[in-house]
Amino acid sequence: MCSEILEPKYPTSTNTKTIVPTIPHDIIDEILDHLATDSDVSGSLFPSTFASLRACALVSKAWVQSCQRHLFHIVDFTSKNADRWPKTFPVPEESPAHRVRNLRVRIGGIGCVPENLFEFTQWFSNTEKISLIGYGGAPPLRRPSLWRLPQSVTTLFVNTDAINLAQVRDVMVQLPNLDSLTLSGTLAATDRKELPGIGTAVRGRFGGKLILYSEDDCKDVVNMLLEIPSGLHFTEAWIYYQREHLLSTIRLVEAFGRTLVKLSQRVASQGKPRHFS
């Protein structure tokens, strides 16, 4: 009796499929949102967080847009980086400018941007807040009426001596959706010839928050706001002023009508500020 040894038979060819696990996009967004929660008091990302998000952007193309949403949420322009943006993104339509929500520009002092920066700021089409900052040390910018600002802006923050009140008006004219306004510090001296009717060309909703902080005569600022044709509908106001300017601020508050819900005032009397709400 003989036994037959059966040799195992192997297939001549194999079809191997590699299954790559995928992470749902909403989970990716959750991860990146968690990374982006590490922010400092000014809202900018910590350097370590910024590096982490940049590394995540290299994982795959699917991660790029979600990372850019955080990486470009806030953009600060100074003299050191103002020329990098157009060089890095020569085609405006393909740049991440539409992801920027908070645009901060140093227009005065050390690090002041060149004025040609404002030739391409219109591409930041979804920006919600623009801040103009900087004091002393450099010649002030002269032509805000020629700037091209995104009309999507709803919040304007001004804390600089690089422009005067008439030029602030020229900025506000370009922001038809302006809702909240902060005018802080010392505005450069304004030619009195420019003041009559200074607020008549300004548009906006002005139904958000007003912050007015000035140790100088605020009468001109108040007059500009009172001349806005659409009126003032702020729901919240924070006002700091010298005691001798009390009547001007009373006129301003009265103009809010019935829309004002919260009012905080800080009065400086003989060098001693007094706060009341």
**Sign of the C-alpha dihedral computed for residues 230, 231, 235 and 238 taken in this order:** positive
Residue 79 belongs to a domain:
no
Contacts of 86 (CB under 8 A, 6+ apart): 120
> pLDDT by residue (tens digit) across 126-150?
999 999 998 876 565 667 888 999 9
Residue 167 belongs to a domain:
yes
For the residues 120-125, what does the mean pLDDT come to? Answer: 90
Residue 169 belongs to a domain:
yes
Q: Is 118 helix (H, G, I), strand (E, B) or coil?
A: helix
**Sign of the C-alpha dihedral computed for residues 209, 191, 161 and 240 taken in this order:** negative
> What confidence score (pLDDT) does residue 103 get?
94
Residue 21 belongs to a domain:
no
Residue 63 belongs to a domain:
no
- Give CA–CA dist 46/34, Å, rounded: 13
Residue 190 belongs to a domain:
yes
**Total domain count for the chain?**
1
Mean pLDDT computed over every residue of the chain: 78
List the Cα angle 232/262/275 in 5-degree steps: 110
Residue 242 belongs to a domain:
yes
End-to-end CA distance of the chain: 110
Amino acid at 241: Y
In which band, very low, low, confident or very high, does the pLDDT at 186 lie, cut at 50, 70 and 90? confident
Q: Which range marks the domain in which residue 202 is found? A: 95-276
In which band, very low, low, confident or very high, does the pLDDT at 164 lie, cut at 50, 70 and 90? confident
Residue 100 belongs to a domain:
yes
Q: Note the pTM of the prediction, 2 decimals.
A: 0.76
Nearest residue to 92 (alpha-carbon basis) of 43, 125, 133, 136: 125
